[in-house]
Amino acid sequence: MLGINDPWIWGVYLLCLLSTLLCVAYGLINWNQGTISETEEITEEKEWEQLEEEVEEELGL
């Protein structure tokens, strides 16, 4: 069939197609799921900056 006699090659082609379908399904399911809001992102960045300043003070930088 199509000049491919080895069943392992057919298995590889089948797995490639199935993984592609799985990736497309995952993308469609998670298409517009909520991301981190801008206010949450700003507060997270402030916390990281405070932590960084504390570490720098402890290290004497």
For residue range 4-20, list pLDDT tens digits in order: 889 999 999 999 999 99
CA 57/CA 50 separation, integer angstroms: 11
Number of helices and strands in the chain (H, E): 2, 0
CA 6/CA 48 separation, integer angstroms: 55
CA 18/CA 10 separation, integer angstroms: 12
pLDDT in tens, 6-60: 999 999 999 999 999 999 999 999 888 777 778 888 899 999 999 999 999 988 8
Q: 27, 30, 28, 1: which is closest to 14 by C-alpha?
A: 1
Q: How confident is the model at residue 1 (pLDDT cuts 50, 70, 90)?
A: low
